Structure 1
Amino acid sequence: MTRLAFKMHLNEGQKQEYIKRHNEIWPELKKLLKDAGVSEYSIFLDEETNTLFAFQKVSGDGGSQDLGKTEIVKQWWNFMADIMKVNPDNSPVTIPLEEVFYME
């Protein structure tokens, strides 16, 4: 099991919309993530900076950000592009974080 963490940026004033959209996550997207080996996925918000911190446990070859070639993930990125910082292909701008401590 691999633990992955990365950060993203939420646009100002979009907290409630971001929460709403994730509370209504598409079943087919959730299934894709689970089938890809993502067993845990948490996203936290630092409201002072609008920084989103994401954490995943993954048993496959990569995390959620490695599924960008699938049509459902592309659709999700397009759906989320208006409320967060994105790349030209509408994928979220993500910054991988290095794990420097872990206590089991």
Structure 2
Amino acid sequence: MDRLQFIMPVRIVTEAGRPVTEIYDVEEALTFLQNWSGAPESPIYQRALNSCFAATIDQESADDARKAFMALARVSGILARDMSVPAGVLESETLPKPPGA
């Protein structure tokens, strides 16, 4: 398996009524992020972009990049409704950690 491939594709819907798009790997996620006009100034967008880029140069795992991309998709409202997210997976990406945690 390619080291940049996601264990499971991230399913997104960029506009209501449009078909679901499946993102299968870090490179597809990075391309999507670079072309997306969603929220490039937001910290969660920057985290997803940085994480995907870091994965391409072996500084982060594809799984970490997938989690960051999914967090952005969920917060931005483009994560497909049928996309299952295990409890606790995205909270660490979106919520600040309490001091001492």
Shorter-chain TM band: 0.3 to 0.5
More helix by share: 2
More strand by share: 1
Greater relative contact order structure (CA < 8 Å, 6+ sep) = 1
Tell me the TM-score normalised to structure 2 length. 0.36
